[in-house]
């Protein structure tokens, strides 16, 4: 299938040039398109990229910001959207030394832009790890002078390892873990006090006092600061206390399992031609330390809880119900567990220099993974039916997967209370990639995965006329298909469209395995034709969300005079086609995105992050 995919891509002219593997792109003379996107991922922010460095006290590690924003985007666009107000007052609290914005819309907008400007979400950083290594090993791109690609990609692992040191004195975001403190950050009633064994917070930032991007610009007069201590120069008007302290299962699954393990595989196995990832690689050691926390968070019915008790939700200040389960998070974790299991089995079978202690760790981890996936007892008076049972018997509803629910909540009258609305696009597409088309069809009937995708398009797809462009986020985006069969144009996501393309490729591969003697062959041929058409259409259209092409493309809701708001020499992909509040609790913005760009590298190299070594499940 990869060869057929490359041949198809080469027929999509310049619109998809950046998505071809380097060998194919070079033949057409368009290698610069992909390289310009790579430069966005590995350059410093001042040079048009997303890389920043933690302070020397925090290791000086280079990490990727989640976004590359600009003051003008916020000040000349977001602040001027009818109903918005950005004139904000920040107040110093003498009791806890924090500086916080006033409650209300202006404060919320300041918190949003501060988080966007300063934050490195660990999921985004995990996808970045994979892209950095694919660009270096598969596409032969070079990282900036003085750097090594795997050393750069491993910086996330190093920061996570540093945050696992109990002696860390720094208060900078990312240098601490979510250890249990009283009833806060209780892991399904289990106490975790050792930092290296706890979840990491979902976002890393360079400073506890985070800079508003308005500082030093013509928009700085929108900020008023009250009561700042004059004796401490760290406090300045425009700096507020970092507020995003959320240890989330899904982000942690990517940051400990998927990103590090895939990056290590690309380096050691694909690049260096080693049989396995060395057991002493930091990626292996970090995930083995954290694995018990994920196991502790598993419910009796198999779903792993969204976050430890006491974690605040995406909106508001109230703690989440600790029995909330996100299906998307569980799909990420399931894929990560499979990656780790395959890696450890390969190490046990093929690596000669393992000590008895090493082998004992591998055996213990494999037992934990088996219970989490297939069910059983973890030996600590806790039993679970396992993730596979959860996906099949709880998460599947009416021909698709629900976005989440409440599992084994004593306050409910039943063990599983699904959240039927809103429906989530990535739950469906990631399910196809993580579980695999063959597994879904085996459970729910031949063609179940294909049918799920067809249903998703009716409520989640974005397009123009009868032409599919991509997908959005939920069934509340204004996307889908109208009564005449034409696609609607609510909002399009580059990242989630990439996930949809990845899922479509999984289905193409699975249905292509049917032989002429199979009873399913005739229908499989029809599936493949339809899926290839969708793949080609989305590959072409997602290019319109690359920064340089977006500036010249008509999108409903696109900011006026966009080139005056965001302008870079590199070629990143945007997060979304317009500013939009996603029903799951955050704003999508049409600004350069690390994870959107990283996903394009996975597509370009036909590398599926959910499968071992990038091979689809």
pLDDT digits (tens, 9 = 90+) for 233-249: 999 999 999 999 999 99
- Give the span between the Cα atoms of 444 and 253, in whole angstroms: 27
For residue 333, give every residue at least 6 positions away whose Cβ sits within 8 Å of its Cβ, in sequence order, or none: 249, 250, 253, 257, 294, 304, 387
Of 27-36, 161-170, 188-197, 425-434, least confident by mean pLDDT is 27-36
Q: Are 124 and 66 in contact (CB under 8 A)?
A: yes
pLDDT at 57: 85
Q: Is 511 helix (H, G, I), strand (E, B) or coil?
A: helix
Q: Is 532 helix (H, G, I), strand (E, B) or coil?
A: helix
Q: Are 316 and 239 in contact (CB under 8 A)?
A: no
Provide mean pLDDT across the span 472-479.
98
Token digits for 160?
């996570």
3-class SS letters over 436-481: CHHHHHHHHCCCHHHHHHHHHHHHHEEEEECEEEEECCECCCCCCE
Any idea of the CA torsion for 526, 532, 537, 538, to the nearest 10 degrees? 120
Largest pairwise CA distance in the chain:
81
The rounded radius of gyration (Å) of the Cα atoms in the chain is 23
Burial class of residue 508 in the structure, from the number of CB atoms within 10 Å of its CB (0-12 exposed, 13-18 middle, 19+ buried): buried
pLDDT at 379: 73
Confidence tier at 432 by pLDDT (50, 70, 90) = very high
- Give the span between the Cα atoms of 137 and 153, in whole angstroms: 12
pTM of the model: 0.95
**Is pLDDT at 11 greater than 60 in this prediction?**
no
**Is pLDDT at 5 greater than 70 in this prediction?**
no
Token digits for 285?
């050691």
Is the Cα dihedral 167, 307, 368, 252 positive or negative? negative
**Is pLDDT at 274 greater than 70 in this prediction?**
yes
User: Percent of the chain beyond pLDDT 90?
Assistant: 88
Question: Can you tell me which residue has the tokens 């297939």?
Answer: 374
pLDDT at 9: 37
- Give the span between the Cα atoms of 432 and 434, in whole angstroms: 6
- Give the span between the Cα atoms of 317 and 304, in whole angstroms: 23
pLDDT at 2: 39
From the list 603, 427, 615, 401, the residue with the least C-alpha distance to 509 is 615
Confidence tier at 370 by pLDDT (50, 70, 90) = very high
Pairing state between β 467-471 and 376-377: unpaired
pLDDT at 30: 56
**Is pLDDT at 352 greater than 90 in this prediction?**
no
Q: Are 356 and 276 in contact (CB under 8 A)?
A: no
**Is pLDDT at 512 greater than 80 in this prediction?**
yes
Please state the length of the chain.
617
pLDDT at 204: 95
Confidence tier at 8 by pLDDT (50, 70, 90) = very low
- Give the span between the Cα atoms of 590 and 11, in whole angstroms: 28
Q: Are 436 and 616 in contact (CB under 8 A)?
A: yes
- Give the span between the Cα atoms of 443 and 450, in whole angstroms: 13
pLDDT at 207: 93
- Give the span between the Cα atoms of 269 and 280, in whole angstroms: 15
Token digits for 97?
């030394």
- Give the span between the Cα atoms of 609 and 253, in whole angstroms: 12
pLDDT at 378: 76
User: Percent of the chain beyond pLDDT 70?
Assistant: 94
pLDDT at 39: 96
Q: Which helix H or strand E contains 32, and what residues bound it?
A: helix 31-42
pLDDT at 31: 61
Provide mean pLDDT across the span 311-335.
93
Of 70-79, 378-387, 399-408, 531-540, least confident by mean pLDDT is 378-387
Provide mean pLDDT across the span 353-375.
96
- Give the span between the Cα atoms of 498 and 599, in whole angstroms: 6
- Give the span between the Cα atoms of 5 and 220, in whole angstroms: 50
**pLDDT tens column, 561-614:** 999 999 878 999 999 999 999 999 999 999 999 999 999 999 999 999 999 999
Provide mean pLDDT across the span 281-287.
98
Token digits for 216?
């030093």
**pLDDT tens column, 135-145:** 999 999 999 97
**Is pLDDT at 193 greater than 60 in this prediction?**
yes
Q: Which residues of 213-224 are buried (b: 16+ CB within 10 A; e: fewer)?
A: bbeebebeebbe
Token digits for 404?
């989440």
Q: Are 408 and 323 in contact (CB under 8 A)?
A: yes
Of 91-100, 174-183, 596-605, least confident by mean pLDDT is 174-183
Provide mean pLDDT across the span 113-119.
98
Q: How far is CA 323 from CA 412, 414, 519, in A?
A: 10, 12, 44
Q: Are 286 and 153 in contact (CB under 8 A)?
A: no
- Give the span between the Cα atoms of 288 and 341, in whole angstroms: 11
For residue 450, give every residue at least 6 positions away whose Cβ sits within 8 Å of its Cβ, in sequence order, or none: 437, 507, 511, 527, 530, 531
């Amino acid at each position: 299938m990869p060869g057929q995919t490359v041949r198809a891509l080469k027929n999509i002219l310049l619109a998809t040039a950046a998505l071809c593997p380097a060998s194919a792109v070079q033949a057409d003379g368009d290698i610069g398109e992909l390289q310009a996107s790579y430069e966005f991922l590995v350059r410093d922010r001042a040079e048009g990229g997303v890389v920043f460095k933690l302070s020397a006290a925090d290791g000086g590690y280079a990490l990727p910001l989640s976004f590359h924003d600009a003051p003008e985007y916020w000040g000349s666009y977001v602040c001027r959207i009818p109903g918005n107000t950005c004139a904000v007052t920040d107040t110093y609290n003498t009791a806890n030394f924090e500086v916080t914005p006033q409650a209300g819309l202006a404060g919320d907008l300041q918190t949003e832009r501060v988080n966007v400007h300063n934050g490195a979400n660990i999921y985004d950083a995990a996808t970045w790890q994979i892209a950095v290594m694919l660009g270096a090993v598969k596409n032969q791109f070079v990282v900036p002078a003085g750097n090594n690609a795997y050393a750069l990609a491993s910086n996330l692992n190093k920061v996570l390892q540093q945050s696992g040191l109990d002696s860390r004195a720094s208060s900078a975001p990312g240098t601490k873990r979510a250890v249990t403190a009283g009833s806060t950050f209780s892991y399904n009633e289990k106490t975790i006090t050792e930092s290296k064994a706890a979840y990491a917070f979902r976002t890393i930032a360079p400073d506890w006092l985070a800079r508003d991007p308005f500082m030093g610009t013509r928009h700085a007069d929108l900020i008023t600061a009250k009561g700042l201590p004059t004796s401490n120069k760290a406090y300045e008007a425009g700096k507020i206390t970092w507020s995003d302290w959320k240890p989330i299962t899904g982000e942690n699954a990517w940051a400990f399992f998927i990103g590090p393990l895939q990056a290590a595989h690309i380096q050691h196995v694909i690049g260096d031609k080693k049989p396995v990832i060395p057991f002493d690689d930091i990626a292996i050691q970090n995930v083995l330390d954290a694995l018990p926390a994920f196991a502790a968070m598993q419910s009796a019915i198999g779903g792993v809880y969204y976050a430890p008790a006491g974690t605040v939700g995406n909106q508001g200040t109230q703690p989440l119900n600790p029995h909330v389960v996100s299906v998307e998070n569980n799909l990420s974790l399931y894929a990560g567990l499979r990656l780790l299991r395959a890696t450890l089995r390969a190490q046990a079978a093929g690596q000669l220099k393992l000590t008895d202690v090493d082998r004992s760790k591998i055996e213990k981890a494999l037992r934990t993974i088996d219970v989490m996936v297939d069910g059983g007892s973890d030996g600590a008076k806790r039993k679970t039916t396992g993730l596979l049972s959860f996906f099949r018997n709880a998460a599947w509803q009416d021909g698709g997967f629900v976005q989440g629910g409440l599992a084994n909540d004593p306050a409910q009258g039943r063990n599983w209370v699904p959240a039927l609305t809103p429906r989530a696009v990535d739950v469906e597409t990631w399910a196809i990639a993580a579980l695999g088309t063959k597994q879904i069809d085996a459970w729910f009937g031949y063609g179940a995965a294909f049918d799920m995708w067809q249903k998703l398009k009716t409520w989640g797809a974005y397009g123009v006329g009868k032409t599919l462009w991509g997908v959005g986020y939920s069934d509340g985006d204004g996307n889908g298909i109208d009564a005449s069969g034409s696609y609607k144009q609510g909002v399009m996501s580059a990242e989630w469209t990439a996930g949809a393309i990845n899922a479509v490729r999984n289905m193409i591969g699975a249905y292509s395995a049917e032989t002429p003697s199979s009873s399913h062959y005739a229908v499989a041929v029809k599936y493949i034709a339809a899926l290839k058409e969708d793949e080609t259409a989305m590959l072409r259209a997602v290019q319109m969300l690359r920064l340089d092409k977006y500036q010249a493309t008509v999108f409903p809701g696109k900011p006026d005079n966009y080139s005056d708001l965001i302008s870079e020499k590199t070629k990143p992909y945007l997060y979304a086609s317009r500013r939009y509040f996603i029903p799951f609790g955050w704003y999508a913005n049409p600004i350069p995105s690390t994870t959107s760009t990283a996903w394009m590298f996975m597509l370009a190299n036909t590398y599926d992050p959910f499968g071992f070594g990038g091979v689809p499940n």
